[in-house]
Chain A
Amino acid sequence: MLIPHPLLGLRDSQEFTYLGDANLMHRPDPAAENAEAAFCEYVFLRDNPAGVHRELWFHEQGDRSWLVVTRDTTTHEILGAELASDVKLGAAQ
């Protein structure tokens, strides 16, 4: 598979380490009343969609960027890749 790195262009997926669901970027509020339940869900439960999936890939053998890659899990088609920090900072604004 080839991953369109937003800074480096198309890179072979072998250069990357896969983590999984991009929802891991949304760490629960540790001070919330239901923090333990929220963390349980955050740590242990994942959706496993057949279709479009946003997921985290680490360019470990490259520039060490974490990317949010949008991939169709049924065809492996990659619909986009963004820097995770951009995604996170964009969401915060």
Chain B
Amino acid sequence: MTRLSGGLIDRSKPLNFTFNGKSYRGFEGDTLASALLANGVQLMGRSFKYHRPRGVVAAGSEEPNAMVELRTGARQEPNTRATMAELYDGLSARSQNHMGPLNRDLLAVNDLMSPFFAAGFYYKTFMWPKAFWEKLYEPAIRKAAGLGSLSMLPDPDQYDKGFLHCDLLIVGAGAAGLAAALTAGRAGAEVILADEDFSLGGRLTMESDTLDEAEAAAWIASVKAELESLPNVRIMTRTTVFGVYDHGIFGAVERVADHLKEPGAKVRQTLWRITAKRAVLAAGATERHIPFADNDRPGVMMAGAMRAYANRWAASPVKRDGDAIAIFTNGDDGHRTAMDLIAKGANVLGVIDARAGAEALGDYKLFAGATVTGTKGRLGLTSIEITRNGTSEWHNVGALGVAGGWNPNVHLASHHRGRPVWDDRLLAFVPSADGPKGLIPAGAAAGKGGTAEALADGMRAAIEALSEIDVTASEIALPKAENAASDQAAFWHVPGDKRAWVDFQNDVTVKDIALAHKENMKPVEHLKRWTTLGMATDQGKTSNISALAVMAELTGKSIPETGTTIFRPPYTGVSLSVLGGGDTGNNFRPSRLTPTHHWAEKLGAEFVEVGQWMRAQYFPRQGETHWRQAVDREVLAVRAGVGICDVTTLGKVDVQGADAGEFLNRVYANMMGTLAVGKVRYGLMLREDGHLYDDGTCARLFEDHYVVTTTTANAGLVYRQMEFFHQCVWPELDVQLISTTDAWAQIAVAGPKSRELLSRIVDEFDISNEGFPFMGCAALTICGGLRARLFRISFSGELAYEVAVPARYGQALMERLMQEGADLGVTPYGTEALGVLRIEKGHAAGAELNGQTTAQMLGLGKMVSMKKDSVGAVMSRRGGLAEDKRRLVGLKPIDGQQQIMAGSHLFTRGTAQETGTDQGWVTSSCYSPHLKSYIALGYLEEGDTRIGEQITAANPLEGKTLMAEVVSAHFVDPEGGRLRD
């Protein structure tokens, strides 16, 4: 154990966990990284390309090295940063990216071959032969690379998404964020304070700075208590604001239960969409490295992180108590780490400061004007080489902190094409004024990282943000604080011949950047893609600026001239599960149930998804072992007796108004205005480009009241199109539209005995053939006073009706029909039988109206009225469409027991089966129990003149062809006598 004194961990709550199968103990308040360090574990993983041993480098979400596979079984989660994994009792983690044990990785051989793995290696090496990429190179590379692995099991946890609105969103709860939240909270503004950490305070929890001459923790606790007492402030810890979107919308992920062993009743994570009138970016800053030879050994870490582990988590970076610690810095900040470590009783070798004129802040050895030029230690740091004035000496150390300066976290400020600007004094990019509207950077994120200036800047930002939305906020009494010395030299890397890592996660070294420069990949965008610098899970948070500096040095340009990186969402990785927000499986989209769904369920129906609808597909009876038995029985029952089917899903649009008839004349290709009251007409709707759009019926119930139906699939689209013409094209027409699809349950009653059945439920209404002939419609009452609509229309070709009642009576009506028709053998039928019946009759459905077909092809060209204009009429007569000679035909296989697959292509007998000789295609097919043969519908060139011809139906997907006879599309009752009787 290398636990120090103090810290913000709760020593009364020990937690047991395992890493690579070995048991350790930490405390509540630990992260996996801090607990491992406190247990003397420096080696936490292997690097991506060279499989170099690696330890933790940072203490936050920027961590490039210490990534683990967390949890087991279905919850196994790869590439989790140990620095962000909150410790819980029973946590289980494994290191990744090695073959064999972590300390003897077989793939470490890659490191010996590093001369071959230079920048652009993949692009240069795996180009030839081309065919090898897919079969050989890519699978091998993918297997060797890719860091952690997935469980390949479905995610067992729940995810959610939510929407929040506020006056002020504050991103980050450090000094600036807390000051902003207190200022805005006291002003009464609706405030959301979000931080990715599990506790408030940000960097204040990791420094030894005092506030009001007391530990910062005391001030944080008092602010927290006050904010929690304010009803207008919402504190969201464990919440990462990952992106800025249009109009003040922010994306955030709240890790609701990631800190628990299992989420239990909670959701695992929530995706929040936060709409904020204004926002303060108080996201702090990220420390950068100074590349030097062999700077990647476990035990080498950021000096600021070292300080954070010591102050907040009481964790020492060394393996054994008493091992010496050195600091390598280019500015004053590194000295703070030395002072804090000494205060904690650590053995500090001294501070190596690249500045010749550097001065010590306290009682420790100072190597001014010196650099670190080498390290030793196979699985962890054992010694470093310090070089001053050309003289080098080795020193034994167990850890080295590197302080290269701080980069403001400008990410969110550059999401809307905001380009950060270079600050010569800070030696860093800071947010520019052209960032997202309404987002005000503050504190360290704005380059004001001193504690006192961050507090004041947070308050200033909140007052400024609120004044823009006319909320007056007053200055608050800020705690007494200081700004630490922050002098710094523009010292970016230690030159040398050996490899010096810039990007740890992707194994990019100074040499790689030099090679990219030599190969003319100088623009930063090229540099990134050639070397993979700044890619992968950390997106170069610790490496981008160092790389720019190295490239700037090579080109002789300044850093801002060399470029900057463009940050895009997300700030840190966002899991696909939470982006889905629980929309998986049955929740992927809404399910719509028909009014008779539960009745059908009780009857044992099989259901099928039709768009969002669940429709009864068929109703198997006892003894039926194959779906065809049920479907054939249902079809024959309709043809011989009576069947009933829920057709509620067909779209219904109520059209009312003095100009309703005129409006329908314009949206339907055929004449609707002349329809008599009490009559129904089949209608064809075209798209404006002249193709068929949809079909349905149009019933005129009253003088100025029509009800039109659409196909199930197009219900929403047709309604949208009708509203478009109503509101955008002809708003002068007196017409009102409303979709009533869900308001009315509609049941088809079909078959020769349908009139007999209906006569038993209608109230004093003449439904004789004379009183209510084919294509009649009426508003009436049934079952003793229930208002209903009756349509004498037929999809099956039999005598048939559709009866509509308010949706809540749908199931009762269905049950009544079953009861009343028991002696008639009434048979419920599903969508399969419905399909067979309409194919037997030659009625078009979705497969025939596929968006590429025309009224002429259906044989209904004359329905496009020449007497009036309608949507699509002009374009339907254009060249190309008007001459199309393909026509809808019926097809009957010569061997009736052979199925013609829908999608088969038609060819004249004996011709080659090529695109040039293609004669059409099969749209729908089924087995007809009526004809005891498979049948099909299809479009065929000059089909109307080829009745009787034998033709080839080719199904190249399955390598099958069969011969079929071209017949009329109306297999049943072509004269239409049955539906008129």
Residue positions of A touching B, CB distance < 8 A:
1-2, 12, 17, 19, 24-25, 27-28, 30-31, 35-36, 39-40, 42-44, 56, 58, 60, 64-66, 76, 78, 83-85, 88-89, 92
Cβ distance A42 to chain B, nearest Cβ, rounded Å: 7
Known contacts A30-B874, A31-B869, A89-B732; is-contact A58 B724 (Cβ 8 Å): yes
A19–B724 CA distance with the chains assembled, in angstroms = 10
CB neighbours of B689 from chain A (8 A):
43-44
Question: How many whole Å from A15's CB to the nearest CB in chain B?
Answer: 12
- On whether the beta carbons of B247 and A88 are closer than 8 Å, the reply is no
Contact call B875/A39, Cβ cutoff below 8 A: yes
Interface string of B714-737 (1 = CB under 8 A from A): 001000100110011101100000
**Cβ A84 vs Cβ B727 within 8 A:** yes
User: Measured between C-beta atoms, what is the minimum distance from A89 to chain B in Å?
Assistant: 5
Q: What 0/1 pattern do residues 731 to 772 of B give for CB contact below 8 A with A? A: 110000000000000000000000000000000000000000
Docked complex: B683-715 residues within 8 A CB-CB of A: 688-689
Q: Which residues of A have CB within 8 Å of B874?
A: 28, 30, 35-36, 39
Q: Of A28, A78, A85, which contacts B727 at CB under 8 A?
A: A85
B925 interface hit (Cβ, 8 Å): no
**Residues of chain A contacted by B731 (CB below 8 angstroms):** 84-85, 88-89
B729: chain A residues within 8 A (beta carbon): 25, 27, 88
Q: Whose C-beta in chain A lies nearest to the C-beta of B688?
A: A43
Once the chains bind, are A65 and B727 in contact (CB under 8 Å)? yes
Q: In the bound complex, how far is the Cα of B848 from the Cα of A14, in angstroms?
A: 32
| Chain B, range 236-253, C-beta contacts under 8 Å to A | 245-249
With A66-B723, A76-B247, A83-B727 given, name 20 new contacts (CB 8 A): A1-B245, A1-B246, A12-B275, A17-B720, A19-B724, A24-B724, A24-B728, A28-B874, A30-B873, A36-B877, A39-B688, A40-B878, A56-B728, A58-B720, A65-B727, A66-B724, A66-B727, A84-B727, A84-B731, A88-B728
Report the Cα distance A78→B248, complex, angstroms.
13
CB neighbours of B248 from chain A (8 A): 2
Q: In the complex where A30-B869, A39-B874 touch, is A2 in contact with B728 (Cβ < 8 A)?
A: no
Q: Residues of A contacting B723 with CB < 8 Å?
A: 58, 64, 66
- The residue in chain A whose Cβ has the minimal distance to the Cβ of B248 is A2
Chain B 427-446, CB-CB to A under 8 Å as 1, else 0, gives 00000000000000000000
A interface secondary structure, majority? mixed
Q: Given the complex, which residues of A lie within 8 Å of B688, measured CB to CB?
A: 27, 39, 42-43
B contact set with A: CB distance below 8 Å: 245-249, 275, 688-689, 716, 720, 723-724, 727-729, 731-732, 869, 873-875, 877-878
Q: Write out the residue numbers on chain A whose beta carbons fall within 8 Å of the beta carbon of B869.
A: 30-31
What separation, in Å, do the CA atoms of A81 and B688 have in the docked complex? 26
Chain B residues, Cβ within 8 Å of A83:
727
CA distance A45 to B930 in the complex (A): 50
Q: Which residues of B contact A43 (CB under 8 A)?
A: 688-689, 875
Give the complex CA separation of A81 and B917 in angstroms. 52
| B219 CB to nearest chain A CB (Å) | 37
Pairs across A and B, CB under 8 Å, 28 listed: A1-B245, A1-B246, A2-B247, A12-B275, A17-B720, A28-B874, A30-B873, A30-B874, A31-B869, A36-B875, A39-B688, A39-B874, A40-B875, A40-B878, A42-B688, A43-B688, A56-B724, A56-B728, A58-B724, A60-B720, A64-B723, A65-B727, A66-B723, A66-B727, A78-B247, A85-B731, A89-B731, A89-B732
User: How far is B731's CA from A25's CA once the two chains are assembled, in angstroms?
Assistant: 10
Interchain CA distance A13-B275 in the complex, whole Å = 12
Measured between C-beta atoms, what is the minimum distance from A18 to chain B in Å?
Answer: 11
Chain A residues with CB under 8 A of B716: 60
Residues A66 and B728 in contact, CB atoms below 8 Å apart:
yes
List chain A residues, Cβ under 8 A from B877: 36
Question: Which residue of B is nearest A68, CB measured?
Answer: B728
Nearest Cβ on chain A to B46's Cβ, whole angstroms: 43
A78 to chain B, nearest CB (A): 7
Cα-based distance from A58 to B721 in the complex (angstroms) = 10
A2 to B273, CA, bound (A): 12
- Complex Cα distance, B731 from A81, in Å, reads 17
Chain B residue, CB-CB nearest to A64 = B723
Q: Which residues of A contact B727 (CB under 8 A)?
A: 65-66, 83-85, 88
- A residues within 8 A CB of B249? 1-2
How long is the Cα–Cα vector from A60 to B739 in the complex, in angstroms? 12
Q: Which of A1, A36, A58, A84 contacts B878 (CB 8 A)?
A: A36
Q: CA separation between A84 and B726, bound complex, in Å?
A: 10
Closest approach, in angstroms, between the C-beta of B121 and any C-beta of chain A? 39
| Min CB gap A2→B, angstroms | 4
In this complex, what residue of A is CB-closest to B731? Answer: A85
Q: Specify which of A24, A28, A84 lies most central, judged by the most chain B CB atoms within 10 Å of its CB.
A: A84
Report the Cα distance A49→B647, complex, angstroms.
45
Q: Which 9 A-B pairs have the closest CB atoms?
A: A85-B731, A30-B869, A66-B727, A2-B247, A76-B246, A84-B728, A1-B246, A25-B728, A85-B727
- Neighbouring B residues of A28 by C-beta, 8 Å: 874
Contact A85 B247, beta carbon cutoff 8 Å? no
- Bound Cα distance from A88 to B247, whole angstroms: 28
Contacts of B732 in A (CB 8 A): 89, 92
- Chain B residues, Cβ within 8 Å of A30: 869, 873-874
CB closest chain-B residue, reference A35:
B874
A60 CB contacts on chain B under 8 angstroms: 716, 720
Q: How far is the CA of A35 from the CA of B690 in the complex (A)?
A: 13
Residues of chain B with a CB closer than 8 A to A65's CB: 727
Q: How far is the CA of A88 from the CA of B689 in the complex (A)?
A: 22
Q: How far is the CA of A58 from the CA of B724 in the complex (A)?
A: 8
List, in ascending order, chain A residues with CB within 8 A of B873's CB: 30
Distance in angstroms between the alpha carbons of A31 and B720 in the assembled complex: 26
> Looking across the interface, which residue of chain B has its beta carbon closest to that of A86?
B731
In angstroms, Cα B701 to Cα A32, docked, is 35
| Alpha-carbon distance A83/B727, docked complex (angstroms) | 8
Give chain A nearest CB distance to B956 CB in angstroms.
33
Q: How far is the CB of B682 from chain A (nearest CB, A)?
A: 23
B247 near A1 (CB under 8 angstroms)? yes
Instruction: Tell me the smallest distance from the CB of A48 to a CB of chain B, in Å.
Output: 19
CA distance A42 to B729 in the complex (A): 13
Q: With both chains docked as a complex, state the minimum distance between the C-beta of A79 and any C-beta of chain B, in angstroms.
A: 12
Q: Which residues of A contact B275 (CB under 8 A)?
A: 2, 12
How distant is the Cα of A84 from the Cα of B869 in the complex, in angstroms?
22
Which residue from chain B places its CB closest to the CB of A3 in the assembled complex? Answer: B247
Nearest-neighbour CB distance to chain A for B668, whole angstroms, equals 15
Q: What is the CA–CA distance of A10 and B722 in the complex, to the nearest angstrom?
A: 25
**List of A residues within 8 angstroms of B247 by Cβ:** 1-2, 76, 78
Alpha-carbon distance between A25 and B724 when the two chains are bound, in angstroms: 9
Residues of chain B contacted by A17 (CB below 8 angstroms): 720
What chain B residues lie within 8 Å of A40 (beta carbons)? 875, 878
The CA of A65 and the CA of B245, in the complex, are separated in Å by 25
**Closest residue to A1 on the B side, CB-wise?**
B246
Distance of B211 from chain A, by nearest CB (Å): 39
Report B-chain residues with C-beta under 8 Å of the C-beta of A64.
723
Taking CB atoms, residues of chain B closer than 8 Å to A1 are 245-247, 249
For A24, give the chain B residue with the smallest CB separation.
B728
**What is the minimal beta-carbon distance from A63 to any residue of chain B, in angstroms?**
11
Nearest A-chain residue to B163, judged by Cβ: A12
Alpha-carbon distance between A66 and B737 when the two chains are bound, in angstroms: 13
Counting chain A CB atoms within 10 Å of each CB, which of B246, B275, B716 scores highest? Answer: B246
A7 to B688, CA, bound (A): 30
CA distance A49 to B741 in the complex (A): 39
How far apart are A61's CB and chain B's nearest CB, in angstroms?
11
Bound together, the chains give a CA A2 to CA B729 distance in angstroms of: 25
Q: In whole angstroms, how far apart are the Cα atoms of A1 and B716 in the complex?
A: 23
Question: Measured between alpha carbons, how far is A43 from B720 in the docked complex, in Å?
Answer: 17
In the complex, what's the smallest C-beta–C-beta distance from A4 to chain B, in angstroms?
A: 10
- CB neighbours of A24 from chain B (8 A): 724, 728
Measured CB to CB, the nearest residue on chain B to A90 is B731
| Distance, CA A35 to CA B688, complexed state (A) | 13
Least CB separation from A58: chain B residue? B720
CB neighbours of A35 from chain B (8 A): 874
A42 to B723, CA, bound (A): 19
